[in-house]
Amino acid sequence: MPRRPPGRDRSAGHLPPSGAGPWDIAALIPIVHEAGGTFSDLTGQHRTDTGAALFARPGLHQQLLDIAVTAH
């Protein structure tokens, strides 16, 4: 997961060209949840089999989903 400077809005996306495997995404979910973050695929569902993932703090997560939907 990318490192960010303290005090910044924190988010991470996982969008490799060939798609992420479910095991790639699933390994990060408990770490992100323990840190107070949230996870979904780019449709807002809690799925690990879509090849894409969005990890962010709760207040930022929906905003990033909205951007992903408009960009897609």
Residue 5 lies in a domain: no
Q: Read off the pLDDT band of 2 (50, 70, 90).
A: very low
**Structural domain span for residue 42:** 11-71
CATH number of the domain encompassing residue 28: 3.40.190.80
Q: Give the strand pairing for 11-14 and 38-40.
A: unpaired
Q: Read off the pLDDT band of 68 (50, 70, 90).
A: confident
Residue 1 lies in a domain: no
Residue 3 lies in a domain: no
Residue 45 lies in a domain: yes
Q: Read off the pLDDT band of 52 (50, 70, 90).
A: confident
Rg (alpha carbons) of the chain, rounded to whole number: 12
> Across-strand partners of 11?
56
Give me the amino acid identity at 35: A
Give the total number of structural domains in the chain: 1
Query: Starting from the edge strand earliest in sequence, which strands make up the sheet with 38-40, in order?
Result: 11-14, 53-56, 38-40
- Supply the pLDDT for residue 56: 92
